[in-house]
Amino acid sequence: MVKDKWQSYSIQGNGFIICKEKLKLLKLDLKSWNRDVFGNLETSKRRILQEMEALDSHDCSGGLTESERLRRLELASSLKENEKKIESLSCQKARANWFKSGDSCTRFFHSSLRWRRLRNEVKGVQVGEQWCEEPCTVWLEAKSLFESIFKATKDLGVRLDGVEFKSLSSYHNEGLTAVFLEKEVRDAVWQCDGSKSPGPDGFNFNFIRKHWSF
């Protein structure tokens, strides 16, 4: 499906623009395909649970036939598979949620901010050989530390006369400014964690590796 859709798109421009625009179109087609093939996962879960509950009630009242027992096993397997899909979808939505509202003034942002603030909070400082958590003492020690580090002096102590700065050779400069080879891009993709996504489009490296041939 991905290959057929990818080859059907007609985009003009350089390679980067073509790839970016095709990924945007592919994302829309994948959403439609997911809706047609998998449907609503939560609805499927409720349907499976309802059917399992009906079979369990029948089992308590008079027992199940062999075909009903097999059906019960199939439903349990389907429920497990459905749960995996819901978990995977939740992970993808969490990543998308961060890209969408991670730095916006939202409830999600403020909860992340509070968690980071608690994690980075300075509980106390070592004063001499004693541990102190008194707020005033902690504040004074922090102030004293930064004053000693950033204290201004009359003599800046910076002399650049005669300093030889390191520079790149022509050979290394050509290597840094050369056009990327396909092999170099491929090696970089294969060295990355497959579950990571290089951008907010949501296509992770496993997806790129699987469809690398086209």
What's the confidence (pLDDT) of residue 115?
Answer: 84
Tens digits of residue pLDDT in 146-205 = 888 787 767 666 667 777 888 899 999 998 999 888 899 999 999 998 887 766 667 888
* 3-state DSSP assignment of residue 125: strand
> Would residue 2 count as lying in a domain?
no
Q: DSSP states of 126-189 as a string?
A: EETTEEE--HHHHHHHHHHHHHHHH---SS-----TT-------HHHHHHHHSPPPHHHHHHHH
pLDDT band at 103 (very low <50, low <70, confident <90, very high): low
> Would residue 198 count as lying in a domain?
yes
Q: How many domains in the chain?
A: 1
> Would residue 29 count as lying in a domain?
no
What's the confidence (pLDDT) of residue 110?
Answer: 79
> Would residue 189 count as lying in a domain?
yes
Structure-token match 């998998």, residue found: 38
- Nearest-5° angle of CA 145, CA 149, CA 154? 135
What's the confidence (pLDDT) of residue 9?
Answer: 92
Q: What is the mean pLDDT of residues 6-23?
A: 89
Checking if the pLDDT of 100 tops 70, the result is: no
Give the structural domain span for 183.
Answer: 169-214
Q: Which helix (H) or strand (E) holds 18?
A: helix 15-37
